[in-house]
Every structure is written in C-alpha cells, then in structure tokens.
A = this chain, B = another copy of it.
Amino acid sequence: MQIGMIGLGRMGSNMVQRLMKGGHSAVVFDARPESIATLEKLGAAGSTSLEDFVSKLARPRAVWLMLPAAIVDKELAAILPLLDEGDIVIDGGNSYYHDDIRRAGELKSKGIHYVDVGTSGGVFGLERGYCLMIGGEKDTVQHLSPIFATLAPGIGDVLPSPMRSDEAAKASTAEQGYLHCGPSGAGHFVKMVHNGIEYGLMAAYAEGFNVLRHANIGTQTTEADAETAPLSHPEYYQYNLDIAEISEVWRRGSVITSWLLDLTADALHGDAALSQYAGRVSDSGEGRWTISAAIDEGVPTPVLSAALYGRFASRGNDDYANKVLSAMRAGFGGHHEKPVK
C-alpha cells in the first residue's frame, strides 16, 4: 500500500527504504531537499511542500511522522488543514504518550485517525526490521497492518516461546514483531517502558565493565591520608583484564547474552579504552517518562532511575550537589577538596 513519510532522518529514511523493498510505495517530505532526493533515486515520490506531499497521497491517506518529539505538534498543525476526514496520521517517533492521547482526541473531532507507533531497532532496523508497539483504534491499526508487517522483522530465526499457547499465537501478531498494544498512547507507553528498560540494561553492562576495568587498582599506589579510604587488600586487585575478549566470551552461552552485549563487544574490539568518547551520555525522554509513570503508579524503579541519573551526572548536572557536599565537609571537618592529580 501507499505511505506518506514526513521526516527523513536516519530512522525515517531507512523505514521508507524497507517499505519500498517490501513492495509498498512511498511519498516523502523533509525540510532538507537532499534527503528527499536520496529517496527519490531509490523510487520514492518526492514532494516540494506539504501541499504537494498531501496531493500525491491517495485517500484515505496514511501519513507517517518520523520526527523529534519536540516538533511533532508543529508539523501536525501544519499538515492538519490539508487532510481530509478518514485520513490517518501515524506518529512513529518517540512522542510522550500523553501527547498521543491529546492528539488522538483533537484529530478525532476532525474525523482523522491517529495511530502511535513506538519503533525500536535503531540503524539496524533497515536490515533486521523494526519492533513496532502500536496504539490506536483497532480498525485503523488493522488497516495499516501491511505496512507494519513489512517494517517488522517477522518471525525470522527467533525460536517460538515454548509455553505460548496456540490461541495466543493466533490472536496476536507479536511473533511477527509488531503488536497492537491498546488504545491511543498504548504504543508509545510500551515503547517508553521499553526504553526505560534499555537504559537499565545498558547501565548494568556499563557498570560491570567499569568494575572489570578497575580490577588492577591494587597495582597502583594510593596515598594514606585522612581524606582517602585506604585499599585494605591490594592483592585482590591485580588483574589486567582483556575486556574486549571478556565481552566476546559472554556472547556465547552465558545468561547475559543480548543484542546490546553484541554491540558492546564490537565497540570494545574496536578500542577497549573507548577513547573516542567523552562519556557525556544524552537521554532523549523516554527514560524520564518511564520514571514519571512509575512514580504516578507508585511502582518502585530503583534500577531504571539509577540508570537515568547516571546519564544526568555524566553531563555534569550533579556539580552543584557535589559542591554542597564539599562545603559541608569543609564546614564540619575542615576537610579540603583534594586537587585533581
């Protein structure tokens, strides 16, 4: 079927390509003409304006937005007057699910359908397919299923879950890699939690590798002064570990095998010191929203929060708190900060 795609960044562009490979046709638009041109060469119909974009789509139109969460509302406001009753807007980016609920309500009043799709898979999705978590009305989601089925990975070589009943397998498309999770917002809610988990998984590996990397701390001389916790047993920290090879061995048969571990191992093979990175880690919203939802629900999420806070601190947002600590220590104990070596 035909899809209109607005937003041809890394994700949007790859999704268009995967859809066209799967036999669908695409009309594309982006603020950067070169992004449009690239896809035109691959068979997409480019457009020169939103009006042109809309005019090239057959009704009921399916308009997929693949944009940073912060600009979806602006784009939606621009295209909405051009759409007709029965058209469908799909937000496949990382929107906050609160916005989905609001938008679905606003669009419904105009007779336009709204579908929220959480999309996971990153830059590998073009080849592997995208895991899709979908929210919206049942009929609309059903109507779009050819699109979802193509974007999703399919069963592939992932083994079926032995305990899954045949009824469950028949009733849902989860095994194909896409799932209608519930009404408006449910797609992005599930994707939000997915990313919250992702933060936690990533941090678990990162902390573990950090412990491995410092396993030789006993080979370094440390100072004995009142400001420094002494290392009682340096003999236990004499290991110079090959972290890249450790990540490699964990990929085979261990309990902690995962795709994230595969990626990490590969990065460590490139440079185990990871010296090209400064260690300032961005967070793009879903981790925050997960914590916010957990707090509203009264559900403890210490691991997911710790993972998020580690990112905040990596960007220096803990600086003032640390200064307060140093000021307190100076206050009660006359302790001076130790200079950086």
Contacts and interface: CB of A to CB of B under 8 A. Distances in A.
Interface stretch (A31-39, A47-55, A68-76, A107-115): A68-76
B282 A164 contact: no
Contact of A206 (B250, B287, B321): B321
A125 B282 CA distance: 38
Interface in A153-183: 153-159, 161-165, 168, 172-179, 181-183
A296 B217 contact: yes
A329 interface: yes
Interface in A228-275: 228-233, 235-242, 244-246, 248-270, 274
Nearest to A302: B306
Contacts of A106: none
B305 A305 contact: yes
Contacts of A235: 101
Contacts of A98: 236
A328 B260 contact: yes
A300 B317 contact: yes
Interface in A189-225: 189-190, 193-194, 196-215, 217, 224-225
Contacts of A241: 181-182, 186, 189-190
Interface in A2-52: 9-10
Interface stretch (A56-64, A79-87, A129-137): A129-137
Contacts of A330: 267, 277
A195 B320 CA distance: 19
Contacts of A1: none
Contact of A320 (B190, B209, B239, B240): B209
Interface string A307-333: 111111111011111111111111111
A259 to B, nearest CB: 5
A44 to B, nearest CB: 21
Given A257-B259, A282-B335, 18 more contacts: A120-B253, A159-B262, A161-B265, A164-B266, A175-B252, A176-B252, A177-B253, A179-B248, A181-B241, A186-B239, A202-B325, A202-B328, A206-B325, A227-B282, A236-B296, A278-B337, A291-B295, A299-B312
Contacts of A227: 282, 284
17 contacts: A69-B230, A131-B253, A133-B249, A164-B244, A179-B248, A183-B238, A193-B212, A200-B208, A202-B328, A204-B303, A206-B322, A210-B317, A227-B284, A280-B340, A281-B322, A298-B315, A302-B302
A122 interface: yes
A298 B269 contact: no
A238 B322 CA distance: 23
A67 B46 CA distance: 60
A19 to B, nearest CB: 15
Given A177-B253, A246-B179, A280-B322, A334 B295 contact: no
